[in-house]
Amino acid sequence: MIGFLIVTHKDLAEALMNVCDLILGRQEGILALSLDPDAPPEVSQQQIQRALVQVNNGSGVIILTDMLGGTPSNLTLPFLQEGKVEVITGVNLPMLMKLAQLRTDKNLVEVAAALKQWGQKGIAMASEVLKKK
């Protein structure tokens, strides 16, 4: 089963994980890591490394970060490994809701692509959606 690591600024990772747990129940192989903005980069990278080891059972890990170019994203990029570790930025709740369905029957690249697509589909302008009804 593919492992997931949510890495964000401040407490966002835990908040997303708590909501996901509330809706779906606790999911195995998913870990939230909110980085301390005052911690040195080396400390944060060590935390990321330890978390990757925790969630990786040999099927690979997808790291979900809050935004491209932010510290969490930048600190995870050195861990990219083709077919083993992928980073997706812009983590959101629709993406997390979908990962439970995807993680067992597809490979890492397929799951990463599907999560990216699902996360983008989860972004909507309510007035546009309501006009279509």
Per the prediction, the chain carries an average pLDDT of 93
100 phi and psi angles, rounded to 5 deg? -60, -35
**Structure confidence by residue, pLDDT tens digits, 15-53:** 999 999 999 999 899 999 999 999 999 999 999 999 999
Low-confidence ranges of the chain (pLDDT < 50): none
SS (H, E, C) 32-68: EEEECCCCCHHHHHHHHHHHHHHHCCCCCEEEEECCC
Which domains, ranges and CATH numbers included, belong to the chain?
A: 3-132 (3.40.50.510)
Prediction pTM value: 0.93
